[in-house]
Amino acid sequence: MASQQNDSDPSEISDFLLNCFVTSPGWQLWLSLPLSLLFLLAMGANAVLLITIRLEASLHEPMYYLLSLLSLLDIVLCLTVIPKVLAIFWFDLRLISFSACFLQMYIMNSFLGMESCTFMVMAFDRYIAICHPLRYPSIITDQFVVKAVIFIVARNVFLCMPIPILSARLYYCGRNVIENCICANMSVSRLSCDDVTLNRLYQFAGGWTLLGSDLILIFLSYILILRAVLKLKAEGAVAKALSTCGSHFILILFFSTILLVFVLTHVAKRKVSPDVPILLNVLHHVIPAALNPIVYGVRTQEIKQGIQRLLKKGW
């Protein structure tokens, strides 16, 4: 059994054990309640947003299709990570098979990349809407959304595929305890008896190429939006535009910042408790998912009215 293996066992292993908080096991007790509440909020809010956009004909527009895509990505990410984490917290179900571990690793990497890319496309959508409003209907069409979705999925599906493949091809012997709540690439590959330099290089290069390029384009879009908004003369137009785009930008910044903090704490692990990057890694899969439908959905007047109409029909 994998649970009986230890560092001195030279035989090849077939399962992993997820060991969440090594130095602070008490974190599991107080973290389980807010984590489960955030999970329920994320699933419920994204489900309501998807149902509203699906049933309200007035919301069948490109911008809301992108919101639907974002909600779908959030739901998949939450379901991939949080139920297993809660199972560890509540029932000590730490065992995870090879195939399940590498599948979770692939979904996490590819879907986080898809979410980042979706933020970029949505920033472009807001840029066209504010900076080139007359051209918006001819540029942001249903065909544009279809092409954008194909690009988002294809880019991340293929570019993230080597990450679990490189980890799965390694030889794992002796150690099978992953010091993490999830099957993060480097947390898994460091258990291998092989050289993991290629894994590290691809994770670093791929992550910064995908997420870094998205972040640069997002910042560029909002800088151009801010410049265009400040030129507006209509009364209240500046405040409305800044309110809408500001909340979107803050959410994107939060998505990027928590990821950056995780990377920095992981690099500086000698100076930071090893449990801190683990905590940030878990929260990064649930907090943005809980906030996205609220910031992008509830604060959008059309979606708010759509939800109200659906509630009235339900009553």
In a domain, 203, yes or no: yes
CATH number, position 289: 1.20.1070.10
Bin 73: left if φ > 0, else alpha if -120 < ψ < 50, else beta. Answer: alpha
In a domain, 311, yes or no: no
Identify the pLDDT of residue 258: 63
CA distances from 297 to 42, 49, 159, 176 (A): 12, 7, 30, 42
Indicate the angle between helix axes 237-267 and 275-283, nearest 10 degrees.
150
**Domains of the chain: total:** 1
Domain carrying residue 292: 20-304
Interatomic CA distance for residues 294 and 244, integer angstroms: 12
In a domain, 111, yes or no: yes
pLDDT tens-digit map of 175-228: 899 989 999 888 899 899 888 899 889 988 887 788 888 988 988 988 888 888
269 vs 88, more confident: 88
Contacts (Cβ under 8 Å, ≥6 apart) of 66: 118, 121, 122, 125, 145, 148
The pair of structure tokens assigned to 43 is 């699933």
In a domain, 86, yes or no: yes
